[in-house]
Structure 1
Amino acid sequence: MLSSDNQKIDPVLPMDPTDLTIGDLLAALADHKDRPLVFQYDGRRVKPGYHVTEVKAGLFSALDCEANPESWSEIFVQLWDVDEGGPVHMPAGKFAAIIRKVSDHVALDQAAKLTFEVSDGVRPMELHRAAQPSLVGEAVEVELSPRPSSCKPRDRWLKEQAAASGCGASRCC
């Protein structure tokens, strides 16, 4: 959810505050369907003619580095950062309509981890996570940052340490 003074209002935070879900993103865009949707990455905005070239959903099963079984669902939205669509960025409502159309054919878990695959057609595709959208002027802006790798056993241990110290997920330690 967004406020008009560029403040983020989080009605429901994803379990990991560094990962926005597709449900979170669609909920944030719902009241702003006519506003331009602008993604930012590498310190710049996507070009006004960007395309959503693919949306895919995956269910993953893996073993982490300590041989613990892991499983999760993830949705990948592929953005082609080109200037072929005109002088304005895609409206948030059009982006939401694209996701709805995909969901008519592909099961999209609204709570799945959301990853953006971004390329300008020349540079290799890069994986990004999305921050909570914010209103900047007349546009809805979504900051994308590179998705880092992590060690799940270490992440679990750090979370347990924070909980034991009374800090929980607030990262006050």
Structure 2
Amino acid sequence: MSTIDNSQSNKTDISLGELLGRAAEAPDLKLVFLYDGKPVKPGYHVTEVKAGQFSALDCGANLEAWSEIFVQLWDIDEGERTHMAAGKFSAIVRKVSEYVRLDGSAKLTFEVSDGVRPMQLYCANEPVTEDGALHVALTPRPASCKPRDRWLAEQAATEASCCGSSASKCCG
């Protein structure tokens, strides 16, 4: 089985709606999540899908609010099972949505454990079709400082708007 380098995915931190959209395009393809440089085992389970509404105060004393969906994967191998089809994953999420309000645009976080190691948090990269399967590379979700992240985004936007024009004098 091949593994996907995160550089092959052009977008990280996709939403649940984006993942379900790609799964709907290829419901019969096997859905293979990759983390820590390897694919999940063929017998993996989606053990829980949770929705959360969060309110927080960041380190810059700014109020923050967001929605987040957590999908818990149990990375086990059970006999002769194969990776679940993308359509089955969608059906699981659809079943959950009958009981739990799931915001398709919410931040998507995967909780993954093999039942031995502690659960780890990951964000999902854009799905890629490879070797007859739909591969979703999971990237560790690091801690961040929201005020710093906003400042860096503003700096990048200023740089892009300033340097985007050949007539600009600010990039001399």
Q: Scaled by the length of structure 2, what TM-score is found?
A: 0.86
Is the alpha carbon distance of 1:9 and 1:64 closer, same or farther for their aligned partners in structure 2, counting shifts above 3 Å?
closer
- Deviation track 1:29-67 (CA, whole Å, cap 9, x = no partner) reads 112111110000001110000000000000000000011
Aligned partner of residue 102 in structure 1, secondary structure: helix
Structure 2 partner of 1:139: 133
Segments of 5+ residues of structure 1 without an aligned counterpart are 1-7, 11-16, 169-173
Q: Partner letter of residue 15 of structure 2?
A: T
Once the 2 structures are TM-superposed, how far is the Cα of residue 167 of structure 1 from its aligned partner? 5.5
Once the 2 structures are TM-superposed, how far is the Cα of residue 85 of structure 1 from its aligned partner? 6.2
* Superposition pairs of residues 4-83 of structure 1, within 5 angstroms: 17-83=11-77
4+ residue stretches of structure 1 with deviation over 4 A?
none
**1:160 maps to 2:154:** yes
**1:91 maps to 2:85:** yes
Aligned partner of residue 90 in structure 2, secondary structure: helix
Q: Partner letter of residue 106 of structure 2?
A: A
Q: Scaled by the length of structure 1, what TM-score is found?
A: 0.85
Segments of 5+ residues of structure 2 without an aligned counterpart are 1-7, 163-172
Alpha-carbon distance between aligned partners in 1 of 2:12 and 2:41, rounded to the nearest angstrom: 25
Alpha-carbon distance between aligned partners in 2 of 1:9 and 1:116, rounded to the nearest angstrom: 17
Tell me which of 101, 112, 132 is aligned to 1:118.
112
Aligned partner of residue 165 in structure 1, secondary structure: helix
**Structure with max Cα Rg:** 2
RMSD over aligned Cα atoms: 1.8
